[in-house]
Structure 1
Amino acid sequence: MGTALVYHEDMTAARLLWEDPECEIECPQRLTAALEGLQQRGLEQRCLRLVAREASEAELGLVHSPEYVALLRGTQALGTQELQALSGQYDAVYFHPRTFHCARLAVGAALQLVDAVMTGAVRNGLALVRPPGHHSQRAAANGFCVFNSVAIAARHAKQKHGLHRVLIVDWDVHHGQGTQYIFEDDPSVLYFSWHRYEHRRFWPYLRESDADAVGQGQGLGFTVNLPWNQVGMGNADYMAAFLHVLLPLAFEFDPELVLVSAGFDSAIGDPEGQMQATPECFAHLTQLLQVLADGRVCAVLEGGYHLESLSQSVCMMVQALLGDPAPPLSGPMVPHGSALESIQSVRAAQAPYWMSLQQQGAAPVLSPSTCSPEGKPSPLLPWGPEFKAAATQTMAALSSLLDKLCLNPTPPVRTAVALTAPDAALVLPPGVLCQERSALPEEMQAWARPHKALAQDKALTALGKVLYLLDRLLDGQVSSGIAATPAPATAATLDVAIRCGLSHGAQRLLCVAVGQLDRPPDLTDDGRNLWLNIGGKEAAAPSTFHVCVPLPGTTGGFLNCVLALVLPLAYSFQPDLVLVALGPAHGLRDPQAALLTALLRGPAGGRVLALIDEESTPQLVGVLARVLHGEAPPSLGPFSMASPEDMQALMRLRGPLEPQWKMLQVAGEAGVGVVRLRVSA
């Protein structure tokens, strides 16, 4: 199973035939630039290439009215003046004699991708298409969009493949109101959109784009809108939105398929979005989605109007779909105050419908940012002098960033496993190396000398393999690894691994220890290491670099611990190496250990070393190897609420840590515990 890339060169045929500054940015070069980027990076060659087909009119009818389809069919015979007149009847739309053909190919590409994923021909994929689709409605084109490819794909997946739960993630910078309208009363489709809103001052200027638009009828709670009320949102804001809004709901919803309306006008440099998220951020977002739905992720291109930023962002997403580690995120991981207000508002609006948010203390707090102003101020147009003056500095920053951005191929070995005695029952994925080499004897002895537990031959042999694997991780020869240690020597081996990592090049090392593993006594709070213990003893003198949390006993408790504590700490700390230590009797089920390990690939650019007890089952070793290699973790099973004790312990921890670790925050400073009146426009 691999990654599909669906494309057809005919989708570059439609183009603007008259002067229209608003529509000229939706051009054929958007596709060619993205495809050339994939080819230059060697990514297209690693994908299964599928040639897009035209969707049938019956398939278009899954969402669109027969009259609207007939109207679009008729555009093939119209002249330029007639096309311009018809285009003027819609908002930000242009038609071309080839529009009908191109739009049918865009829908057909999305349907082919869904079929390939649902039949197991591929694990995931990208449909590289135009025109985009998420603004188009049942009987109307809108915002460059003709047919709603993602909405049709969702209906197709339900009808043809019998799915009951489909998640649509729309990270385009514009609100996909067309998709929202189509599914707003449908509880089988969870629709999440973040979008530039600016107190209803940004296109499409809709009241129903705000956080309190949560669906209708049976679909209440299944529309999730996160409005950005300022420009300049960056990596920290996007990651916070996923960790504190989307992922809690998604795990509770438990989708069978994830569809992504992948608009890259939300990336740095884009004239429409004016946001600051760098291309590698989209690799991280993609990785987070891949832990859902057994990894069945189908992305469909929407917007994106800065060609270089679009191309780099598409490449990053495809690398993540292929299972490659995502480069570490650049910039400080501190969400903007305005972003926290938006996150706070959407959590409050959604809390009545989702257990996961009710337990996290999502108080009924609604920010004044949700108030809609009277009238619609003129937007900052991408062709106007105001924008050009403001964009000069952003473009210079983008050029500098892209020069530094690492799009290197995967390390020679993506994942290596070092065991003291390989089990015949162990089945490793193709491409995972079973390592037999050890560190030099004198190096082993030097590191082992302070620890009596490492004096035995078996423990010393295991330590040698750990040290050799750690060196390969730090010199870039191996991306991630798993090493087994004898149970009595686990704590000592972990201590050596931490000290060795810090002395051999790691600038910041995160250790996530599960079970009764004490923090090495000589570790100092110098900012270079962060110790996080799940299920261990409470720290005698807790600090911002020494965090202990009880092991939750339910699925909901475990997810809250990971999403609301472990990952925000990890992304705030920005480590360049992560150690995951599963001590004897650690208490995690295999799917929980796999999910924790998979999610920790992100913060350190994939550099994860998992230390496990040598008595662990071959099944655990195999599943950890698969997730470190880029595959999806197994399902956690049915969602169950966290215990009040687990939630109290988690909330008690978070408060003192928030001043240091900003990614833990879920509300603006003035909004905590305050109930505000909502004012309607």
Structure 2
Amino acid sequence: MASGTALIYDDEMTSYKLLWDNPECDIEVPERLLSSYEQLKHYHLLERCVHVPVREGTEEEIMLVHSSEYLEVVKSTQTMNEEELRRVSGNYDAVYFHPNTYRCAKLAVGATLQLVDSVMSGKVCNGMALVRPPGHHSQRNAANGFCVFNNVAIAAQYAKRRYGLQRILIVDWDVHHGQGIQYVFEEDPSVLYYSWHRYEHQQFWPLLRESDYDAVGQGKGKGFNFNVPWNKFVPELILVSSGYDSGIGDPEVCNGIAESSLASVSTTFALKHCFDFGLQSAFDAELVKEERTLLSLQNVVAVLDKILKKKVCNGIAESSLASVSTTFALKHCFDFGLQRKILLMNICQKQQTEKTNSKYHISLNWKEDAERNNFFCAVLGFILPVAYSYQPDLMLIVIGPNRSLGVNGISLLTCLLQGLAESRILVVIQDTEINLVQSVAKALSGVPAPDFGAYAPASQENVLEIKRLRNQLQQEWKMLRCSGLEMESKTKHTVIFAMN
């Protein structure tokens, strides 16, 4: 089964630019393509993609959409001087040519067709071709709106011819209407074209009557062209007719996939296989329970993503299955490209079986004093020395059901751990422990530490637990020793604390 996402890109497609002053075209610059690629690099997405090499589109492939006469005009620009290029450019609307335009336009076509081949052959599941010049305005005999060859239209014709496809959907969300694609397929029922664009009652470029909602195709293609034109409208009142019979599990929905009223479209699409079996049956409580779990996973990853991208310093996420959410969170860290160190602290019920501690997996069985705070001993005598020895880049604190630690101990721990990892902390709280959110939020937001209650010395049982762990692990974590406070060298491990 296909997996992975293809990325097709080549710097050579930035090798043409405007050679003269033209206010209409001066926004079409190489940086438009470069900035997209740099953003993928910034968010560590490049390493997650399957890189597919670029090739040139052939003349035969280009003429699946364009005339041979137009092809010859574009080809001739390779040897033109600036004056000739300006003259040819002036024959079209909002376009400029450069000696490298033809080469780049062929690469843009070839990159798009490489993507079609990669998906159709099963090499990848989906993908993206970053190309320049763009294509959706160009027509059979004309360049238009910065576009030279109509890359997507050529791709659709190519896919029909090579793979025998009979139904292709083209979705176009550019702010300008892609009239070039519409013209190519307006009589073709095998291609459904959907364009969502700004229109302003025909006052927004390309200023065409056929960009309006009633341009639905012609002949056999009638009903296969959908334009959703935006017209400026400033409402004075917003009313929402909020029906929920599109929700998963509703017996009225029988079309295979129902979009949940509660989940995002992307989540529903990704999880559709989990729900298909229940769509035509009566309302199933188990489906609702499963959807709730999936939504909580989505929330955890969303908060973590903001922390990893440094949009926020820390955050809290509620989860119906805190332990499962943590597994997803760790995977998201690795997928994001976090190659450094994660400190995971799991505050849960007492373990029923005795597990052997290791350097990177430590279980601390702590018996809390119901009336006084005896947790200082554990924090200062064991947890912080290990944490500071490890020097994590991110901390995950997971508060599970039937926790063994009270609100004072959890608040204390959260406060004192903020000196590490630039305070990059995600706290995942089981929904049954939701009463902790306010206290944890205050600790994370820098509110002065609460009264932790009367101090109580650790019980004999707790002292022996700390001594046992220190003796067992002091060779691994040097700050557990009475002397020699050297830090551990950097690793790519995850340290897991289980406080039972």
Q: Distance in 2 between matches of 1:226 and 1:135?
A: 17
Query: In the TM superposition, what are the counterparts of 1:450-529 in structure 2 within 5 Å?
Result: 463-464=401-402, 496=432
Match 1:83 to one of 61, 82, 85: 85
User: Which has the greater radius of gyration?
Assistant: 2
- Which residue does the alignment assign to 2:231? 229
Q: Distance in 1 between matches of 2:141 and 2:147?
A: 12
Q: CA deviation at 1:107?
A: 1.0
1:427-474 Cα offsets, whole Å, 9 max, x none, are: x99x89xx997723599xx9xxxxxxxxxxxxxxx9559x9xxx9xx9
Q: What residue identity is the alignment partner of 1:186?
A: D
- Which residue does the alignment assign to 1:22? 24
Q: What residue identity is the alignment partner of 1:14?
A: Y
Q: CA deviation at 1:502?
A: 7.7
Query: In the TM superposition, what are the counterparts of 1:356-375 in structure 2 within 5 Å?
Result: none
Preserved CA contact (<8 Å) 1:41 1:407: no
Q: Paired residues, what number? A: 317
Q: CA deviation at 1:131?
A: 0.6
Q: Distance in 2 between matches of 1:134 and 1:206?
A: 15
Query: 1:501 and 1:18, CA in 2 relative to 1: closer, same or farther beyond 3 A?
Result: same
SS in 2 for 1:51: coil
Query: 1:326 and 1:201, CA in 2 relative to 1: closer, same or farther beyond 3 A?
Result: farther
Given the two structures, how large is their TM-score scaled by the length of structure 2? 0.53
Match 1:439 to one of 348, 353, 360: 348
SS in 2 for 1:16: coil
Match 1:406 to one of 311, 314, 328: 311
Q: What residue identity is the alignment partner of 1:51?
A: P
1:566-599 Cα offsets, whole Å, 9 max, x none, are: xxxxxxxxxxxxxxxxxxxxxxxxxxxxxxxxxx
SS in 2 for 1:72: helix
SS in 1 for 2:160: helix
Query: In the TM superposition, what are the counterparts of 1:118-137 in structure 2 within 5 Å?
Result: 118-137=120-139
Given the two structures, how large is their TM-score scaled by the length of structure 1? 0.39
Query: 1:10 and 1:252, CA in 2 relative to 1: closer, same or farther beyond 3 A?
Result: farther
Preserved CA contact (<8 Å) 2:136 2:152: yes
Structure 1: segments with no counterpart, 5+ residues: 245-250, 255-283, 295-323, 331-403, 420-427, 447-461, 482-492, 507-681
Match 2:212 to one of 207, 210, 213: 210
Q: CA deviation at 1:416?
A: 8.4
Q: What residue identity is the alignment partner of 1:32?
A: L
Match 2:52 to one of 29, 50, 53: 50
Query: 1:477 and 1:156, CA in 2 relative to 1: closer, same or farther beyond 3 A?
Result: farther
- Which residue does the alignment assign to 2:494? none
Query: 1:52 and 1:476, CA in 2 relative to 1: closer, same or farther beyond 3 A?
Result: same
Q: What residue identity is the alignment partner of 1:222?
A: F
Q: Distance in 2 between matches of 1:64 and 1:407?
A: 49
Q: Distance in 1 between matches of 2:193 and 2:81?
A: 38
Q: What residue identity is the alignment partner of 1:162?
A: G
Q: CA deviation at 1:498?
A: 6.0
- Which residue does the alignment assign to 1:164? 166
Q: CA deviation at 1:497?
A: 6.2
Query: 1:118 and 1:477, CA in 2 relative to 1: closer, same or farther beyond 3 A?
Result: farther
Q: Distance in 2 between matches of 1:178 and 1:417?
A: 51
Q: Distance in 2 between matches of 1:173 and 1:19?
A: 24
1:45-82 Cα offsets, whole Å, 9 max, x none, are: 32222231111111112211222212211221222211
2:154 corresponds to 1:152:
yes
Q: Distance in 2 between matches of 1:154 and 1:48?
A: 22
Structure 2: segments with no counterpart, 5+ residues: 247-253, 258-263, 275-299, 325-330, 336-343, 351-365, 371-399, 415-422, 443-500
Q: CA deviation at 1:230?
A: 2.2
Q: CA deviation at 1:202?
A: 0.7
1:266-299 Cα offsets, whole Å, 9 max, x none, are: xxxxxxxxxxxxxxxxxx88767767999xxxxx
- Greater relative contact order (Cα < 8 A, sep 6+): 1
Match 1:107 to one of 106, 109, 127: 109
Match 1:11 to one of 10, 13, 26: 13
2:105 corresponds to 1:196:
no
Query: 1:101 and 1:181, CA in 2 relative to 1: closer, same or farther beyond 3 A?
Result: same
Preserved CA contact (<8 Å) 2:304 2:426: no
Q: CA deviation at 1:146?
A: 0.5
Q: CA deviation at 1:186?
A: 2.3
- Which residue does the alignment assign to 1:651? none
Preserved CA contact (<8 Å) 2:198 2:229: yes
Q: What residue identity is the alignment partner of 1:205?
A: L
Q: What residue identity is the alignment partner of 1:37?
A: Q
1:462-500 Cα offsets, whole Å, 9 max, x none, are: 9559x9xxx9xx99978999xxxxxxxxxxx97x36666
- Which residue does the alignment assign to 2:118? 116
**RMSD of aligned alpha carbons:** 4.9
SS in 1 for 2:169: strand
- Which residue does the alignment assign to 1:185? 187
Q: Distance in 1 between matches of 2:182 and 2:256?
A: 17
Match 1:93 to one of 80, 92, 95: 95
1:375-427 Cα offsets, whole Å, 9 max, x none, are: xxxxxxxxxxxxxxxxxxxxxxxxxxxxx98399xx9xxx98958xxxxxxxx
Q: Distance in 2 between matches of 1:42 and 1:156?
A: 32
Q: Distance in 1 between matches of 2:345 and 2:312?
A: 30
- Which residue does the alignment assign to 1:74? 76
Q: Distance in 1 between matches of 2:28 and 2:54?
A: 20
Q: Distance in 1 between matches of 2:57 and 2:268?
A: 30
Q: Distance in 1 between matches of 2:209 and 2:118?
A: 38
Preserved CA contact (<8 Å) 1:191 1:224: yes
Q: Distance in 2 between matches of 1:23 and 1:61?
A: 26
Q: What residue identity is the alignment partner of 1:118?
A: M
Q: CA deviation at 1:141?
A: 0.7
Q: CA deviation at 1:188?
A: 2.4
Preserved CA contact (<8 Å) 1:438 1:464: no
Q: What residue identity is the alignment partner of 1:22?
A: E
1:222-279 Cα offsets, whole Å, 9 max, x none, are: 211111112999xx9xxx9xxx9xxxxxx9799xxxxxxxxxxxxxxxxxxxxxxxxx
SS in 2 for 1:191: strand
Query: In the TM superposition, what are the counterparts of 1:560-579 in structure 2 within 5 Å?
Result: none
Q: CA deviation at 1:157?
A: 2.2
Q: Distance in 2 between matches of 1:116 and 1:214?
A: 31
1:334-393 Cα offsets, whole Å, 9 max, x none, are: xxxxxxxxxxxxxxxxxxxxxxxxxxxxxxxxxxxxxxxxxxxxxxxxxxxxxxxxxxxx
Query: 1:192 and 1:252, CA in 2 relative to 1: closer, same or farther beyond 3 A?
Result: farther
Q: CA deviation at 1:203?
A: 0.5
Preserved CA contact (<8 Å) 2:40 2:46: yes
Query: 1:62 and 1:478, CA in 2 relative to 1: closer, same or farther beyond 3 A?
Result: farther
Percent of matched pairs sharing the same residue: 49
Bigger Cα displacement from structure 2, 31-40 vs 55-64: 31-40
Q: Distance in 2 between matches of 1:438 and 1:479?
A: 11
Preserved CA contact (<8 Å) 1:416 1:480: no
Q: What residue identity is the alignment partner of 2:348?
A: A
Q: Distance in 2 between matches of 1:121 and 1:218?
A: 34
Query: In the TM superposition, what are the counterparts of 1:488-637 in structure 2 within 5 Å?
Result: 496=432
Q: CA deviation at 1:10?
A: 1.1
